[in-house]
């Protein structure tokens, strides 16, 4: 009788309870996550300002870096403030609608990052391997058209998994073992068959992360072959590509491990799973301004020029 009663209940309010095993030490997590959050906001804001304020940086590559900064600004804002309040004041509550909205925004922003990394790899391909056709294929209008199709793909796939999650009945518990509303973290609380949700989620990861990574890898393989054939001509450009690959590898590794940890048998503790999930959002947001900003000569030049001008005081 009690089981039938539970099946008729569908929770609409949830509690985010990530890192609960830390007990009284849990509030200490506020410090590292707050520092990473502040670093992300300041670094990406400065990078975006430098690109917007200098017309010399309005070329396709720098526009893509600026768009990456926008994504890196938005992703942490979607969940870190609530997570920090959760650590300090135990503010765990979130509605089902709020959870679904947060789920869409976080997963969509991360899919946009994957798409921008793909566009950056294509930009490097044309700059190094097809320099004569660079301006034809990578002018701003063509770049925006290039981005549009993957963004629509991302929106359709993410909307599908969110809508499917919203149709489920949540009667087992209303405690989400996570710091934000990740797709499978919520779906695992549902009653009944969730195989469709898992399958569509897996398909979404394949069509976004794996497909983008495949084309990124192909682009850089072609670039490496071209550089090896041309000798030392493009060694500087190759150095930039290597830094891109490092960030891409770390980001996709974090995302895939966190994603697959819900679907295959593993020895990951709940806290390890939550940590990986938060890192695939926060790690790129903190590192990208350095990798794509300060390590890029033109951006570094304008940044130092900005600092120098700010330090000059009128007599």
Alpha-carbon torsion 31, 251, 50, 240, what sign? positive
Q: Is residue 20 in a domain?
A: no
Q: Is residue 107 in a domain?
A: yes
C-alpha gyration radius of the chain? 22
DSSP letter for 188, please: T
Beta bridge partners of 176: 16
Q: How many domains does the chain have?
A: 1
Along the 315 residues of the chain, how does pLDDT read in single tens digits? 444 444 556 788 999 988 888 888 889 999 999 999 999 999 999 999 988 888 888 888 888 888 989 999 988 888 899 999 999 888 888 999 999 999 999 999 988 988 888 888 888 888 888 888 787 777 777 778 888 889 999 999 999 999 999 999 988 788 988 888 988 889 988 888 888 998 998 899 888 888 888 888 888 888 888 877 776 555 665 666 777 777 777 777 777 776 776 666 666 777 888 888 888 888 888 888 888 777 777 787 777 777 777 655 544
The range of the structural domain enclosing residue 68 comes to 26-309
Q: Is residue 315 in a domain?
A: no
The rounded distance, in Å, linking the Cα atoms of 282 and 301 is: 26
CATH number at residue 133: 1.20.1070.10
Q: Is residue 314 in a domain?
A: no
C-alpha distances in angstroms, 36 versus 18, 42, 175, 189, 231? 18, 10, 26, 30, 40
Q: Is residue 5 in a domain?
A: no
C-alpha distances in angstroms, 68 versus 9, 114, 133, 200? 42, 10, 24, 27
Q: Is residue 186 in a domain?
A: yes
Phi and psi torsions of 14, nearest 5°: -130, 165
Beta strands in 13-92 (DSSP E): 13-16
């Amino acid at each position: 009788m009690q089981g039938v009663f539970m099946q008729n209940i569908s929770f609409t309010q949830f509690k985010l309870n990530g890192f609960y095993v830390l007990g009284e030490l849990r509030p200490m997590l506020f410090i590292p996550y707050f520092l990473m959050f502040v670093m992300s906001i300041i670094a990406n804001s400065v990078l975006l300002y430098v690109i917007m304020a200098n017309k010399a940086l309005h070329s396709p590559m720098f526009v893509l870096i600026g768009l990456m900064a926008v994504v890196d600004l938005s992703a942490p804002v979607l969940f870190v403030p609530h997570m920090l309040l959760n650590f300090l004041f135990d503010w765990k509550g979130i509605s089902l609608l709020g959870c679904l909205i947060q789920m869409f925004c976080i997963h969509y922003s991360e899919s946009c990052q994957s798409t921008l990394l793909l566009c950056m790899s294509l930009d490097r391909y044309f700059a190094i391997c097809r320099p004569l056709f660079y301006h034809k294929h990578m002018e701003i209008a063509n770049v925006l058209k290039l981005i549009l199709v993957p963004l629509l793909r991302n929106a359709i796939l993410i909307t599908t998994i969110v809508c499917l999650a919203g149709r489920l009945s949540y009667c087992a518990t209303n405690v989400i073992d996570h710091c934000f509303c990740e797709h499978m973290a919520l779906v695992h609380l549902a009653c009944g068959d969730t195989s469709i949700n898992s399958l569509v989620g897996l398909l979404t990861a394949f069509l976004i992360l794996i497909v983008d990574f495949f084309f990124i890898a192909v682009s850089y393989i072609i670039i490496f072959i071209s550089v090896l054939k041309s000798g030392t001509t493009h060694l500087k450009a190759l150095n930039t590509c290597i830094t891109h690959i490092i960030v891409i590898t770390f980001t996709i590794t974090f995302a895939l491990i966190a994603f697959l940890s819900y679907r295959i048998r593993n020895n990951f503790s709940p806290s390890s799973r939550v940590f990986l999930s938060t890192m695939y959002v926060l790690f790129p947001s903190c590192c990208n301004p350095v990798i794509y900003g300060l390590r890029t000569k033109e951006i570094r030049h304008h940044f130092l020029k900005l600092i120098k001008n700010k330090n000059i005081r009128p007599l």
